Amino acid sequence: MQNTVIVAPATVQRRSTKEYQQLDAAHFLHPFTDTKALNAKGVRIITKAEGVYIWDSEGHKIFDAMSGLWCVNVGYGQQALIDAATRQMQELPFYNAFFQTSTVPAIELSALLAEVAPPGFKHVFYGSSGSESNDTVVRMVRRYWDLMGQPQRHTIIGRMNGYHGSTMAGASLGGMTYMHAQGGLPIPGVAHIEQPHYFLHGQGMTEDAFGLKAAGWLEEKILELGADKVAAFIAEPIQGAGGVIVPPKTYWPEIQRICDKYGILLVSDEVICGFGRTGNWFGCQTVGSRPDLMTFAKGVTSGYIPLGGVMVGERVAKVLIEQGADFNHGYTYSGHPVACAVAIANIKLIQKMRLVERVREDTGPYLAEQFQQLREHPLVGDVQTCGLMGAIQLVKDKATNARFSDAADIGMVCRGYCFDGGLIMRAVGDRMIIAPPMTMDHAQIDELMRLARKALDATLAEVRAKNLS
């Protein structure tokens, strides 16, 4: 296993934890958070990080099995990325791409992305986040069909429990009903189909049969809306925020066949799956789809600095470019030179360390093997992994796969024990999920499994003691 240079993190902590908590409560509104409840409890303050570990202001060392928020793919403290940002800030901290101008890092990164992307992706449009990039998708897809003389092709189909970000368009494309319930979403011209979640919707069928059935929901929706009205289908290759839901093998080839049959653009949201997480540069290569557009963010800079974008395949790029007219869309930070410089350093580091191959051939299979052993645990009804993403489905009764009630809040109980034991695993309902840094080695996977087992045992003890059901 090739080692990387890790810099020792320094801590800038001028106040006590209590004082920081009070200031946080007084001024900081956190995303997706009940502020009142958080303020009553007091926020946890993360002060430094190194490799796969983070530390809080009380000195607790915690194994970060979520890579921050699915993004710190190369782990914390990578000097090459820090140097790239420093150099670029000294040389040219900002210039825009609007005034018929470009910058060296933006050009170099665009060429590098074309090199690592699947064949046919030669162009990129930049934003600063996954959400922004999915807004770009909506504008670009509709512009494409306008230019094709089919402006009625307006509707984009997403999936229930899919996640595509939190802007108006991102949250609309996503299928999180609790997000739709706030702010009058989804926006017009978006429809949804059910997710390919075998554990929830496929019991009693073979996985293969369920995969075909779930893909068939797309065809049904297209026919319901009218094929000439549908612009695109957007989906994550493996649903991340929805609970690391790995679809059956038959699902994606059938989705591809349906998109091809009706001429519908396929958009692969690679914000989590991109840059090696599934064992290929992009998730579409793992599941075997051929998208027209790919959204990316997070792993492109390993989260060291915000950057996102859309990789534009030949079919769309050709039409956009040959039209010879403005695409009236863009952001101040499209192609930000510092973000692009960090992305170049990040991609080169992934290449140098052979992290994509390592996930595919070594750490991914090893994690899968270890995760399978969790199936024996009394609380575990199912496990799924793909590369370095994994999910543990908690159940009340293994024999019937009966689930806990919402009131038991079993995921949060387990998450609490993880945190207490020094492990960050995220809870999505009753699924415990991980997406650890791709630099992880076998010893760290073993450590992760030890911590996860300990948290599961503590959760089981609480279930029994409190009769949770």
Binding site for ligand PLP (CB under 6 A): 129-131, 134, 163-165, 170, 236, 240-241, 269, 271-272, 297, 308
CB atoms within 10 A of CB 26: 8
Nearest distance, CB of residue 308 and ligand PLP, angstroms = 6
- 367 or 435: whose CB is closer to ligand PLP? 435
Nearest distance, CB of residue 8 and ligand PLP, angstroms = 29
Helix (H) / strand (E) containing 239? none
CB atoms within 10 A of CB 374: 18
Task: Decide the pairing of beta strands 308-313 and 121-127.
Answer: antiparallel
- 300 or 451: whose CB is closer to ligand PLP? 300
Strand partners, 142: none
Q: What is the C-alpha separation between 221 and 230, in angstroms, rounded?
A: 9
Identify the CA nearest to 338 among candidates 297, 299, 301, 295.
301
Nearest distance, CB of residue 131 and ligand PLP, angstroms = 3
CB atoms within 10 A of CB 332: 10
Nearest distance, CB of residue 284 and ligand PLP, angstroms = 13
Nearest distance, CB of residue 272 and ligand PLP, angstroms = 4
Contacts 24+ apart (CB under 8 A), 208-214: 208/248, 208/249, 208/250, 209/250, 210/248, 211/247, 211/248, 211/249, 211/250, 211/251, 211/254, 212/250, 212/251, 212/254, 214/247, 214/248, 214/251
- 244 or 414: whose CB is closer to ligand PLP? 244
Nearest distance, CB of residue 364 and ligand PLP, angstroms = 19
Write the CA distances from 445 to 125, 168, 292, 380, 459, integer angstroms.
36, 38, 35, 19, 21
- 163 or 333: whose CB is closer to ligand PLP? 163
- 131 or 385: whose CB is closer to ligand PLP? 131
Nearest distance, CB of residue 161 and ligand PLP, angstroms = 12
Q: Which residue is nearest to ligand PLP (CB)?
A: 130
- 435 or 455: whose CB is closer to ligand PLP? 435
- 31 or 59: whose CB is closer to ligand PLP? 31
